Amino acid sequence: MNKYAKARAHTNIALIKYWGKRDERLKLPTTNSLSLTLNQFYTDTSVQFDERLVSDQVCFNGKILDQAAARRITNFLDVVRTQTGMQTKARVQTTNNVPTAAGLASSASGFAALAAAASRASGMRLNHRELSRLARRGSGSATRSIDGGFVEWHRGIGDRTSFATPVAPKDYWDLNVLAILIDEQPKKISSSKGMQLSQATSPYYAEWEKLCKQDLKKIKIAIKTKDFEQLGRIAEENAMRMHALTLSASPDFSYFAADSLKAMRLVQQLRANGIPCYFTMDAGPNVKVLVEPENRASVLSTLQAAFGNDKVVVAAPGPGVQYLK
């Protein structure tokens, strides 16, 4: 058995958001969600199971993590060990090409890459659905980073049926996502904590669940017909209705920073000026702008003028998980 494997996974941006779990331990979501895997942000992770180790060793961006910091990764390796009946500890090396914890879903690419590398290193041979289920145990959004392009995560009826499947491959539709990196960090509430609070306390949560069902149907038609304005509108409104859940939680909270407001207003202005572009936002201050290639240059220059050239990253649909040497 080859006990070493290395994998690359890209992050994804949810167009129909995942915002609530019906099972915390298994990370089963309350609703289906839909995302686009991006080419610009990825994680490379290698896993080496080694009989000589007495505990897992995790090296993150060149730095050895202490036990507490490595807990989530160790817990994930325990899932793999339980599934394979193995007890061997592992050496994990992971390099993130994503601004960590900035709402660019580094845990999506992180746990997708870890799931791929750890399962292969342990001798499991998983297909994409199985890998997606496994990645889910690390982080909900990682479920959607096994495949490229447009991906739907099915809530399923239980652990075995909650995985993601491709809706349209990476090259299906030539789109861009301009990610605006916003420095200011409002008080950090993890997405996990944020969705928990929203679900437990927002009076609007039940409506959110219904809404996602409708939005999902509509956005799949928009993808099928390549109707960009419909796609953008649904994604923007779905995102804002997710953020409305944070505002309406008890206590109320928000992921908006001053520059998030500025970015959203700019996009709405561009649109008022006849340029179709739409924003979305996750559990962090960054704003991501959907645009078609023919309008990319003009939207990009407006955003760069407002935020600085190095603060806007141009992304496009990205591939699914890849195994590296």
**Residues with Cβ < 8 Å from 151, sequence gap 6 or more?**
12, 34, 35, 36, 37, 144, 145, 164, 165, 166, 167
> Can you tell me which of 188, 210, 213, 217 binds its own copies, judged by CB under 8 A?
210
Helix, strand or coil, per DSSP, at residue 230:
helix
Shortest Å distance, C-beta 73 to its own copies: 31
> Can you tell me which of 38, 65, 90, 245 binds its own copies, judged by CB under 8 A?
245
- Nearer of residues 135 and 266 to its own copies, judged by Cβ: 266
Report in angstroms the alpha-carbon separations of 45 from 48, 66, 222, 268, 292: 10, 18, 35, 38, 32
> Is 306 among the residues that bind its own copies (CB under 8 A)?
no
Which of these segments, 57-65, 72-80, 93-101, 259-267, binds its own copies (CB under 8 A)? 259-267
Tokens of 87: 């007890």
> Can you tell me which of 171, 174, 183, 207 binds its own copies, judged by CB under 8 A?
207
286 burial level (CB within 10 Å; 0-12, 13-18, 19+): buried
Helix, strand or coil, per DSSP, at residue 258:
helix
> Is 237 among the residues that bind its own copies (CB under 8 A)?
yes
Which of these segments, 30-38, 112-120, 198-206, 308-316, binds its own copies (CB under 8 A)? 198-206
Asked whether the beta carbons of 13 and 105 are under 8 A apart, the reply is: yes
Tokens of 148: 């490229």
> Is 250 among the residues that bind its own copies (CB under 8 A)?
yes
For the segment 37-66, give every residue that binds its own copies (CB under 8 A).
none
Strand partners, 274: none
Tokens of 262: 């500025």
Site string for its own copies, 162-191 (x = CB under 8 A): ------------------------xx----
User: HSE on the CB side for 76, CA within 13 Å?
Assistant: 28
Site string for its own copies, 99-128 (x = CB under 8 A): ------------------------------
Whole-angstrom distance, CA of residue 112 vs CA of residue 47: 13
> Is 206 among the residues that bind its own copies (CB under 8 A)?
yes
- Nearer of residues 152 and 215 to its own copies, judged by Cβ: 215
> Is 282 among the residues that bind its own copies (CB under 8 A)?
no
- Output the DSSP codes for 137-192: TT-GGGGGGSS-SEEEE---SSGGG--EEEEE-TTSS--EEEEEP----PSP--HH
Which of these segments, 104-112, 162-170, 233-241, 317-325, binds its own copies (CB under 8 A)? 233-241
- Nearer of residues 203 and 308 to its own copies, judged by Cβ: 203
- Nearer of residues 156 and 186 to its own copies, judged by Cβ: 186
Residue numbers at the binding site for its own copies (CB under 8 A)? 186-187, 202-204, 206-208, 210-211, 233, 236-237, 240-241, 243-245, 247-248, 250-252, 254, 256-259, 261-262, 264-265, 268
